[in-house]
Amino acid sequence: MQDVILQLDAVSKSFDGKMILKDFDLEIKRNEFVTLLGPSGCGKSTTLRIIGGFEKPDGGRVLFEGKDVTSLSPDKRNVNTVFQKYSLFPHMSVAENIAFGLKLKKKSKQYIDDKIAYALKLVNMTSYARRKPASLSGGQQQRVAIARAIVNEPEILLLDEPLGALDLKLRHEMQRELIKIKKEVGITFVYVTHDQEEALTMSDRIVVMNKGIIQQMGTSKSIYDEPQNAFVADFIGDSNIIDGIMKQDRLVRIQGVDVPCVDEGFGRDELVDVVIRPEDLVIVAEGQGYVRGMVVSIIFKGAYYEIKVRAGEYEWSVQSVNPAQIGAMVGLTILPDNIQIMHKPLSEDAEVTKEDE
């Protein structure tokens, strides 16, 4: 079992009277790639800054390998941070930028040269050592910023939306590079993003946050397949979230129709949230399936068609490899295993609101 390298113990933080983090608890294991995921304002970047020592919590503790470092400055923690803004020194070459931190530590010239060569090879920038940042693309500058952080051999590398300024193709390329770098250098990554695809692609574990509270933690697959509340289901991928009534174990009423499911342990006639992924719905002939509706829109997305089917006051989202005709009446069916039943939220912290989106 991996040992815990970082622990946040009941951390709280507020700005101008607004609570950003409330009794926040988190443990991160050595060599994990952990992503803090959530909408703007959910507290993920504040969490990262507290870990790095750039912000001091109002309450709680930050522990590195069991040692309380809450009051230590950033330079006293074995942590490096890569921000969205690369902050490279424009008058220095790539090699000089990478060497900057090592020179401050008064390392030998041979040590620094060896580290520069290793870091440049790691980020595929060996031939760019003498170039200035202004001559590099955004993706290349980000690679240099990552190399500069890694040569200092931090125990933990903090990355605050580092790919946000890149275009889609470069972002996907850098995602693959970060996974490769993580495996090769064997250090702990704590990554902040609001991009759920990015989180699903790279993480060993995802921490989904909303309003300073952890909504769910787990692997990419577990969070996608088994969201614990409507907020997580809506934020991680596309979802149909509709009111239902749990008639009894393994039977839920949706839009007046009793539909088999696999969930148990709910109260009889309990009001619930029903979550169904668009790719799990199947369009069938009118008169078949559990739901009857009209196709109101269809968009070709490349790998599939995104189809909207209006049934009563609800508009279902369906992903299908087969097109449909706008205006056609169709049925929708779903396998019991692909229906997720959730308790209604007890507080607004777990609700999906326009403010969160």
pLDDT confidence of residue 307 = 98
Q: Locate tokens 């509340």: which residue?
A: 229
SS3 state at 289: coil
Burial label for 188, CB within 10 Å (0-12, 13-18, 19+), is: buried
User: Do the domain assignments include residue 234?
Assistant: no
Q: Which pLDDT score, from 0 to 100, does residue 2 have?
A: 56
**Can you tell me the mean pLDDT for 116-141?**
92
The pLDDT of residue 356 is above 60: no
* pLDDT single digits (tens) 19-31: 999 999 999 999 9
CA gap 126, 179 in Å, rounded: 19
Query: How many angstroms separate the CA atoms of 178 and 152, rounded?
Result: 17
Query: Which comes out higher in pLDDT, residue 1 or 139?
Result: 139
Q: Clarify whether residues 172 and 258 are in a common domain.
A: no
Alpha carbons 92 and 307: distance in angstroms, whole number = 53
What is the rounded CA–CA span in Å between residue 230 and residue 351?
7
162 and 300 inside one domain: no
Q: Report how far apart, in Å, the C-alpha atoms of 234 and of each of 20, 38, 158, 214, 304 are.
A: 22, 11, 27, 15, 20
- pLDDT exceeds cutoff 80 at 355: no
pLDDT value at position 233?
Answer: 92
| 219 and 124 assigned to the same domain | yes
Domain contains 232: no
- Note whether 352 and 257 are same-domain residues: yes
Residues 41 and 190 in one domain: yes
Predicted pLDDT of residue 163: 85
Domain CATH for 313: 2.40.50.140
Any domain includes 231: no
Clarify whether residues 84 and 164 are in a common domain: yes
The mean pLDDT of 59-81, rounded to a whole number, is: 94
266 and 157 co-located in one domain: no
Mean pLDDT of the chain: 92
3-state secondary structure of 292: strand
pLDDT, mean of residues 293-321: 97
Bridge partners of residue 33, in order along the sequence: 189
pLDDT for 95 beyond 70: yes
342: left (phi over 0), alpha (psi -120 to 50) or beta: beta
Mean pLDDT of 39-52: 95
Q: Does residue 354 fall inside a structural domain?
A: yes
- Is pLDDT larger for residue 93 or for residue 350? 93
Q: Which pLDDT score is estimated for 1? A: 42
pLDDT at 357 over 90: no
Give the chain's domain count.
3
Containing structural domain, residue 131? 4-225
| Mean pLDDT (whole number) for 80-101 | 90
H/E element holding 173?
A: helix 168-185
Residues 289 and 247 in one domain: no
- For 313-354, the pLDDT digits (tens) are 999 999 999 999 999 999 999 999 999 999 987 655 545 433
- Asked, for residue 230, whether it belongs to a domain, the answer is no
CATH number at residue 14: 3.40.50.300
Q: Cβ contacts of residue 67 below 8 Å, gap of 6+?
A: none
Instruction: Looking at the structure, tell me whether residues 90 and 137 fall in a common domain.
Output: yes
Q: Quick one: pLDDT at residue 347? A: 57
So what's the pLDDT on residue 162? 87
Q: Which two tokens stand for residue 193?
A: 């993003």
pLDDT in tens, 225-255: 999 998 999 899 899 999 999 999 999 999 9
Q: What is the Cα–Cα distance from 241 to 340, expressed in whole angstroms? A: 10
* Residue written as token pair 């703007």: 40
Residues with Cβ within 8 Å of residue 91, at least 6 apart in sequence: 132
In a domain, 38, yes or no: yes
pLDDT at 169: 85
Looking at the fold, whether 182 and 269 belong to one and the same domain comes out as no
Distance CA 338, CA 279 (A): 10
Residue 169 belongs to a domain: yes
Q: What pTM was computed for the model?
A: 0.88
For residue 105, what are its two tokens?
Answer: 């530590």
- The pLDDT tens digits of the residues spanning 184-209 come to 888 999 999 999 999 999 999 999 99
| Same domain? 76 vs 124 | yes
316 domain residue, yes or no: yes
Residue scoring higher pLDDT (86 or 276): 276
